[in-house]
Amino acid sequence: MAAASTEHRVRLLCTDELGVVRVSEAAGTNRSQLDGLLNMSTRWGEPSRARRILKCRAGEDGAGGSDSGAPGSCVASGWMAVARHDGTVEVIESASGAVMGGGGVAVGGVPVGVNLYGPAPGREGARLITVTEDGEAVVHAAGCGSGAGAAGFGSFGDDDRIVEEWTESVRWKATGHAAACRASAGGAILALGGKGNGNDLKLYDVETQTITFKAKPPPENWLGYRAPPWVSAIQFVPGSDSRSIILGTGEHVLRLYDIRTNKRAVLDMSVGDAVITSLAVSHDASTAFIANAQGQLNSVDLRKGLLINKYKGHSGSIREVVIHPMENLIATAGLDRYLRVYSTDTKRCLAATFLKQALTGVCWDLRGPAREAAAAESAAAEEKAA
């Protein structure tokens, strides 16, 4: 495939229950050119239900930036991590689907979440953080080097392009059972939680593997009953320096924690009618997007604690909702086999495409300025040669 043909700003990578990565893209570079033009362009991987993909995550800048992948992150560099049911995690190059880092790494259990970061000050290599459902957190590292014609780390620079073989750095028992996890911008803090007593929200310092925050359970209700923890989704709030976290529960409750003020949630509200499966937060940290297992997608004003909108169109469990790193767009993928893109300004579905299999995740893939310039130069050269 010619270099120019991969340079689409509106480009999404979806994972499915057969272990295949499906690429959907539009030729436009902004939302006004997106309407109805999103189509599947290619797919990577051989179908295998035993190796189905459970979670995926776009790579981020190891130096920090925004917890939502907003400007300052390296989502545009073209790499993503996929966690498979067979207990392996792979890092793939998003332009070609090639597996980087010497192949997949075994994490010792079924993964419930994966996070991927590039080089950072004081850390030359890339970092891969995975949590398994039995509560083990695993950190892998890989050196980055230089090489002519190397690909994969487009936004870093000429000296940080090739991911070498992954090696395990540290492993520790973080909780008794894990159902969801999320690492902060830069990968310094790991938030996780699960199902059952003792498995409520915890925050760990990844370098020291020590607990920095442990949530207090909510008060008992008027019947004297307190439901055991069931953390089903976690997301850091952008701009909070990793000190504000939202989580969703199996009892369709949204909670907002501010670790600077209280160990109990500062916001606790019921949203929807089913298990919350995925969360996203707007760039200004004012709005949370909550997806659940009944196909409901709602938005909540985090400052007022009010439900403000319901997004229509889904007919099955939504597995992932992700916000565009730069624009006011969200993408969803779920069991109804559709990838959808919505405007958070108009609340309208801008595009939807049928991808044939039940979807388990979605990532935005952006082209960095250097790669776009190279594509434009290549296109100009081809036109001149013709």
Q: Convert the pLDDT of each residue in 209-252 to its tens digit.
A: 999 999 998 888 888 888 899 999 999 999 999 999 999 999 99
Helices (H) and strands (E) in the chain, counts: 1, 30
Higher pLDDT, 201 or 60: 201
The per-residue pLDDT for 100 is 82
Average pLDDT, the chain: 84
- Distant-in-sequence, close-in-space partners of 260: CB < 8 Å, separation ≥ 6: 243
Higher pLDDT, 92 or 121: 92
| Per-residue pLDDT tens over the stretch 126-139 | 889 999 999 999 99
Cα 70 vs. chain centroid, distance in angstroms?
12
342 and 329 Cβ atoms separated by less than 8 Å: yes
369 and 7 Cβ atoms separated by less than 8 Å: no
| Per-residue pLDDT tens over the stretch 307-344 | 999 999 999 999 999 999 888 999 999 999 999 999 99
Residue 161 confidence class, pLDDT cut points 50, 70, 90? very low
Give percent above pLDDT 70 in the chain: 81
Helix (H, G, I), strand (E, B) or coil at 382: helix
| Per-residue pLDDT tens over the stretch 28-57 | 555 555 666 788 889 999 999 999 999 999
Is 169 a residue whose pLDDT tops 90? yes
End-to-end Cα distance, the chain: 17
Surface-to-core class of residue 88, CB atoms within 10 Å of its CB (0-12 exposed, 13-18 middle, 19+ buried): middle
